[in-house]
Amino acid sequence: MRILVTGGTGYIGSHTVVALLEAGHHVISVDNLSNSEASVNERITDIVGHGPSFFEVDLCDQVRLREVFEKVGPIDGVIHFAAFKAVGESVAQPLRYYQNNVNGLLSLLECMTDFGVGQLVFSSSCTVYGTPEQLPVTEQAPLRPAQSPYGATKQMGEQIIGDWVRANPNARALLLRYFNPIGAHPSGKIGEWPRGVPNNLVPFITQTAAGLRERLQIFGSDYPTPDGTCIRDYIHVCDLADTHVLGLSRLSHLLPGGQVRALNIGTGSGTSVLEAVLAFEKVNGVPVPRAFAPRREGDVVQIWADATTAMEALQWTPRFSLEDAMQTAWLWEKNLRNHT
């Protein structure tokens, strides 16, 4: 298939581009490079042997986006990642998040409609569940008030896509609500590459282990959890990438036209922040200096997935463990420091 991937040089996007190329698809990648580097495409080429067709485009610039649709010819499906994604930053800069995440999606859907592209896989998030009443979280759990503007943009995105699909009988969409992606490609050639201070746990762990940060701050030590730290469902980014490839390839079998479906993508088990840090230290033999800090606004206390529906629908099971993720993240960090 000919697949358009938005946010294709980002963390999850780049791993999905690799998986798509390895599965034999032709990939058109667009990214505005606001939180990634164009050199990621060279790294993808190093892994696969060839890379995607890449265009530096901001989705909110619909004129430029339309030029891409016109230039590349027929597109069979779209995987939409491009969005700002930091919970804390969204609390501090809500208008920026609404402007980028919502308007970018609207622009993309308008182009898809005008060019007759009806298959979409959307990068959603477990943040749509807010603070869940029951664990593990199933797809039937109510969407509770978002804890952050970032979470609100994902809820809005799902609503917009649902309305769009129902108005277009030839359209269908998967909403992949994933939990906490971590790790890097086993080659060590691509991984999470944050600009400035990382917002996610694992790159902060690896940068601290590498001596770039004085210590890791663990936000909150007094949560009602076994060790007082937040609990998350950490899934290896390559497992997450696989679900997008499977989701798009199986979309017409999973859904009739005019329908949308949400799937939880996770491992089905929760790991505390402290347990994740200790797993990194154990598997890599590297200490991570750390200190506890006050709770961070917008954080959910604990959440993990019931992913059985996704595993059945996509005929998928995760291949990588928490330890695998920590090993690959450290390999990526070391390679990144040696080549930049």
In CATH, what number is assigned to the domain containing residue 74? 3.40.50.720
**Global confidence as pTM:** 0.96
Helix runs in the chain, H state only: 11-22, 40-48, 62-72, 87-92, 94-97, 103-114, 149-166, 201-209, 237-249, 251-254, 273-284, 308-314, 322-339
Q: Is residue 320 part of a domain?
A: no
| Average pLDDT for 210-222 | 96
Domain span holding position 13: 2-183+234-266
Show the tokens assigned to 15: 């791993």
The reply to whether 26 falls in a domain is yes
Q: Looking at residue 339, what is its pLDDT?
A: 56
Residue 209 covered by a domain: no
pLDDT of 231-261, one tens digit each?
Answer: 999 999 999 999 999 999 999 999 999 999 9
> pLDDT tens across 160-215, in order?
999 999 999 999 999 999 999 999 999 999 999 988 888 889 999 999 999 999 99
- The catalytic residues are 150
- Whether 19 is in a domain gets the answer yes
Q: Read off the tokens for 291.
A: 């200190």
Give the mean pLDDT of 267-294. 97
| Inside any domain, residue 292 | no
Query: Residue 340: is its pLDDT beyond 80?
Result: no
Answer whether residue 90 is part of any domain. Answer: yes
Mean pLDDT of 20-45: 97
Average pLDDT, the chain: 96
pLDDT tens digit sequence for 282-337: 999 999 999 999 998 778 899 999 999 999 999 999 999 999 999 999 999 999 87
User: Does residue 49 fall inside a structural domain?
Assistant: yes
Report how many domains make up the chain. Answer: 1
- Burial class from Cβ neighbours inside 10 Å (0-12, 13-18, 19+) for residue 9 reads buried
